[in-house]
Structures are given as C-alpha cells and as structure tokens.
Amino acid sequence: MRHGDHANGYVILDEIGEGGMSIVYLAHDTEHRNKVVVKQLKEQLATDAEFVARFRQAATIMQELRHPHLASVIDYIEQDGLCLVVEEYLPGGSLADLIDRGGRISEEQALSWCRDVLRGVDHAHQNGVVHRDLKPGNLMLDGRGTIKVTDFGIAKAFGGPRLTRTRAEMGTPAYMSPEQIRSPQKAYHLTDVYSMGVVLYELLTHKIPFERNSDFDTKQAVVKDPPPPPRHLNPNISVELESIVLKALRKDPARRYGGCSEFASRIDSYLKGVPPVTPGVMEWVKAHPWKAALLLLVVFALMAGLASMR
C-alpha cells in the first residue's frame, strides 16, 4: 500500500513499521477524523489460508476484548486480495522503543506498567484467549502514558481455528516459556505469566535473562538454565522484588503465580508496601480452612473485646 491509498474509509498516510506477519501503516479515518493504525497481512502470507485465518482470528479476538489495557481493534477488511486490521493509534510507541532509546524507567513505573498489562492479559484469559507473544514490542503507550497490549497475531483462542504444529511454533524465543518451547500447542495462561516475568526482569535490569547467539541456544537456555538473579545486574533491587520476578520465571508452571491476576496483585501489594504472606501460612490455610476460619473469628473477637475496654 502507498500514501493516499483508500481502504474502506481509511486513507494511508505512511508506513511506520513491520512485524513478522504484517506491515504497519499510519492512516486517517475519514469518518471520525482521527489517526488510526492499519496492519496489512504480508502479501506472501495472504495467499495462505491458515495465515489469513490466524489474522482474521486476531482481529475478531481484539474486537471482542474490551479492556483499558488492551489495544482496541476498530475494523477488519478484506479487499482486493489484501487483509487489513484497523487499530487505535498509540502515539507513545512501544516499551521496546523506549528501551532501545535508553530511556530511564523507574522501578515504580516498570512495576505499574507490568501490573496493568497483567490485568489486561488476565481479562483475555478470562475470555479464553492466551496471547503467547508478550514482549516489550507488543506493549504500547497511548498519548497519556497508559500501557496497552497489542498484536494478538499468534494468540491461542480456545475454540478458534486449529493450527498446525509448525505454524504454532511462533513467538520470540527470549520471552517464550519452557513449556511453550517444548510443546507450542499446549501453551496456556501460565505461559503469559512467564513472558511478563521476562519483561519485568528486562525493565528492572536492562537485560533479558537468557541472551544467546542463536535462537536455538536461547531456547536451550530457557529450558535448562536458571536465570541470573536480577540483583546481580541491579543491586538496587530489593530481595523481595527479586523473589517476585524469579517466581514468575520458574521452569515448572505449577510453581509460578497461579495466573496473571495473582501476579498483578503481588506487584500491586509490593507497590503499596504490603508484606507478602509466607507460603507456609498459605499452605496451612488451604489445608485447614475450618481452623483458619475459627482462628480468624477468635482474632476478631479479641479485637472487639479490646476495643470495648477503651
């Protein structure tokens, strides 16, 4: 597409980027008189029915998922052999752009962004969608600094088009979870927890935990090697925050946070200065719910008694 081309009421202004599946254009919405982004499925992929189905599925997913931290899809167009997705324009750029420019990111800002992304992704999970390609390049900022998740191009939608094994092996190795590397089609919501652990690690240390010379070596490291402790790279990180990051990066999904909501809540508690509940206490509560409830009643009764004596 070129400057001045029309597509269903959108006028192409300029090419502004390119991804693995699409070319990205800035466009003008003639009806609403504002800027939008138009993503065109690459021509060599537009003849492949499976890639077209994937692209269409991504558009459908994003049109249905409405959340403050998910980028809005406005329209999906198939015209003259072209497949186009129209999204809201996010002029703040991506976190990848910010990292590449060497922009200063405070610890509080990094945590706030990751918490908000996790809340948006959890909304997708609640609606049966796993992103599977969370990374700084897919996390965009609007004009007010609000972060939004974009590019659900390889998302796994339960009940959506079934993909072949080869085609399912898409993603960015450094941000992929061990289970996603081993068995891509079986990747589920805890894969997104891991990927956001990598993003938080990178925002705090300016390094990714596994950086190797090839995709093969990176995947091997993700599956087999322990991540370097973040405090080795940034001694200003607290021991508690380091443990928050490393829990998200556990090789065994069952030892990570139970989902993006739990991860977001843990970050939010840290930002508010709320101390963590020790795992031993939580395990005891889960194993003895009636005793825990009785103990809680006793505590409340004691507090009420002390209050009445004042």
Task: Give CATH for domain 93-276.
Answer: 1.10.510.10
Q: Which of 48, 75, 100, 133 is catalytic?
A: 133
Q: What is the pLDDT of residue 214?
A: 94
Task: Give CATH for domain 6-88.
Answer: 3.30.200.20
**Angstrom distance (rounded) from CA 266 to CA 57:** 32
**Angstrom distance (rounded) from CA 111 to CA 17:** 27
Q: Which of 34, 10, 8, 12 is nearest to 23 (CA)?
A: 12
Give the CA diameter of the chain: 81
pLDDT tens sequence for the chain (310 residues):
889 999 989 999 999 988 777 899 999 999 999 999 999 999 888 888 888 888 888 788 888 889 999 999 999 999 888 999 999 999 999 999 999 998 789 999 999 999 999 999 999 999 888 898 999 999 999 999 999 999 875 556 544 444 443 444 467 899 999 999 999 877 889 999 999 999 999 999 999 999 899 999 999 999 999 999 999 999 999 999 999 999 999 999 999 999 999 999 999 999 999 887 655 555 556 566 776 777 777 767 777 666 666 6
Q: Which residue has the tokens 């081309």?
A: 5
Q: Extract the tokens encoding 48.
A: 């492949």
Q: Extract the tokens encoding 112.
A: 């706030």
Strand, coil or helix: what is 248? helix
Q: Which of 124, 208, 125 is nearest to 173 (CA)?
A: 208
* Residue 161 · residue 153 · CB < 8 Å: no
**Angstrom distance (rounded) from CA 223 to CA 216:** 11
Q: Which of 134, 133, 22 is nearest to 87 (CA)?
A: 22
Q: Is 100 a catalytic residue?
A: no
Q: What is the pLDDT of residue 44?
A: 87
Q: What is the pLDDT of residue 162?
A: 42
Q: Extract the tokens encoding 152.
A: 């659900």
Strands 6-7 and 10-18, sheet pairing: antiparallel
Q: Which amino acid is at 180?
A: Q
